[in-house]
Structure 1
């Protein structure tokens, strides 16, 4: 046990002293108690005297050193000392576990696609096997909110859409990649096709999630317009993919979406591919630098088991 400090009746006491007292009280013999704790008999005696001095109590009846007993104060204090010792050991164990990422909460932000692709599910399942004492707390958040939450220490790890650069305090790596599809109302004239070319989208209105972001799907809309040889299209901004998909299903426009969105089977929403434009939409893991690396390694181990989603 480290030189832990506990508080009893507003008195600061040393955990090593408490440990020595409990051993002496239970063994009823100074030498056996010292052997049990792994110290010299003289050290055990000094620790007991220091504890008694701090408490202002005589805990041990020293008249018969071959079969020592407890004073009344010692008998009353023993259960308190045992409880204090257990708490100190538990605190020490939890502290080590927190440092290794073995227990405590792991606050995990994720974009909706991380759930649809199976990435989030696999991470939760994998950590439940490798770190059963860890409490995983997933929170659905869009990418900008995750970055803010990471900086503020509200979450520890985020699964989000990539950014061109990240703050120096965080680390990032690719976690998953999937194709891109066009989502539109099943009544749309293009929806009876398997795929279309970019030029066929010249007159379309695009419903774009996270429109105020300077990266993400809006970049792909610009790229499509350039590839198809038409002016930048009319855009309806929305906050998230589900809203955008619902608006597209209602016939208000078309939406560029991760292929995993097709797994939702939203009423009235169909999907087609794009023949001449086949980018990948990636999900990255971003985490604070103070998250234990062995824990990150276990999260990383789940990446390969996420189901691939093709834009086919």
Structure 2
């Protein structure tokens, strides 16, 4: 018995005629009849009752037809599923986002991924610092990271996406709000809120580097892990913060954003995944992300 025998039997059962079934199968009637008899011999039951005018199903044949159709349908579905997997159209992916990307990019990204890869189940984790994302990608807790380089882990493939300008988030009543732009040197007399040094935030190193190069002795009053918390503290009047421009999507009452100049500075955004991962759906998702920039 083989799959051809099942196909032959189902076709004869549907046509109730060997001649029409042979035409439909593009084969001669004699080998078709022989194949059905071989199937019956292997099963040890009569599936078809033959007359000179037509072919009818026996009780055993009707039962066997239902199972044969289900088997052939399952095989077709399995082939279709395999092709979808090969094309990257199905699967599950978890994506981690750095704080600023969570607010500015994630809404549009989730819609784009759902439109272009509707068969892939996506999960998102926001407000992740770069070191946490690198560890999560390395261990498989997330599959793709939108993070701030540099990334020292050589097991990851890191692709730059864009450079984001830095801006200053100020309490609404801060004296610097009256200016159209803020110099780095202007922050020397201002209390600052920064991302956590203990959690090895990339932004902590970027901001401290800018202040150091400008000869500013920073007055750091608070260190936080999440960008949303940082901006909330700014809104509460507890200090100013240097953040990537996409954070301006967090338009909280009591917060004003001003461009940072002299020097103007940027921070990179990149997409990362494990270099040994080459699943089609992961590659397609990375392509969608890259295509948005």
Shorter-chain TM range is 0.7 to 0.9
Once the two structures are superposed, residues 228-256 of structure 1 have per-residue CA deviations (whole angstroms, 9 ceiling, x without a partner) of 21345435221110001111221222211
Contact 2:90 2:121 in 1 (8 A): yes
Q: 1:218 aligns with which of 154, 179, 204?
A: 204
Tell me the secondary structure at the aligned position of residue 151 of structure 1: helix
Q: Kindly indicate whether residue 236 of structure 2 is the aligned counterpart of residue 250 of structure 1.
A: yes
Q: Kindly indicate whether residue 286 of structure 2 is the aligned counterpart of residue 296 of structure 1.
A: yes
Stretch moving more, 149-158 or 40-49:
40-49
The structural deviation recorded for 1:15 is 5.2
Residues 1:227 and 1:152: Cα distance change in structure 2 (over 3 Å)? closer
Tell me the secondary structure at the aligned position of residue 278 of structure 2: coil
The structural deviation recorded for 1:276 is 1.3
Pairs within 5 Å for 1:258-269: 258-269=244-255
Q: Kindly indicate whether residue 94 of structure 2 is the aligned counterpart of residue 107 of structure 1.
A: yes
Contact 1:198 1:227 in 2 (8 A): no
Alignment-derived partner of residue 146 in structure 2: 159
Contact 2:168 2:182 in 1 (8 A): no
**Distance in 2 separating the partners of 1:87 and 1:223:** 61
Pairs within 5 Å for 1:151-300: 151-168=138-155, 170-231=156-217, 233-234=219-220, 236-288=222-274, 289-292=277-280, 293-300=283-290
Tell me the secondary structure at the aligned position of residue 273 of structure 1: strand
Alignment-derived partner of residue 62 in structure 2: 75
What is the TM-score normalised by the length of structure 2?
Answer: 0.79
The structural deviation recorded for 1:90 is 1.6
**Distance in 2 separating the partners of 1:245 and 1:286:** 26
Tell me the secondary structure at the aligned position of residue 108 of structure 1: strand
Contact 1:205 1:253 in 2 (8 A): yes
Q: Kindly indicate whether residue 85 of structure 2 is the aligned counterpart of residue 95 of structure 1.
A: no
Contact 1:116 1:263 in 2 (8 A): yes
Contact 1:25 1:70 in 2 (8 A): yes
**Distance in 1 separating the partners of 2:223 and 2:52:** 84
Residues 1:105 and 1:187: Cα distance change in structure 2 (over 3 Å)? same
The structural deviation recorded for 1:94 is 1.6
The structural deviation recorded for 1:122 is 3.7
Residues 1:247 and 1:44: Cα distance change in structure 2 (over 3 Å)? farther
The structural deviation recorded for 1:161 is 2.1
Pairs within 5 Å for 1:53-68: 53=42, 56=43, 58=45, 60-61=47-48, 63-64=50-51, 67-68=54-55
The structural deviation recorded for 1:43 is 8.1
More helix by share: 2
Contact 1:58 1:71 in 2 (8 A): no
Q: Kindly indicate whether residue 27 of structure 2 is the aligned counterpart of residue 27 of structure 1.
A: no
Residues 1:23 and 1:156: Cα distance change in structure 2 (over 3 Å)? farther
Contact 2:172 2:254 in 1 (8 A): yes
Alignment-derived partner of residue 309 in structure 1: none
Tell me the secondary structure at the aligned position of residue 185 of structure 2: helix
The structural deviation recorded for 1:139 is 3.5
What is the TM-score normalised by the length of structure 1?
Answer: 0.75
The structural deviation recorded for 1:25 is 2.3
Tell me the secondary structure at the aligned position of residue 65 of structure 2: helix
The structural deviation recorded for 1:132 is 4.3
Unaligned runs of 5+ in 2: none
Alignment-derived partner of residue 120 in structure 1: 106
**Distance in 2 separating the partners of 1:262 and 1:58:** 76
Residues 1:177 and 1:58: Cα distance change in structure 2 (over 3 Å)? farther
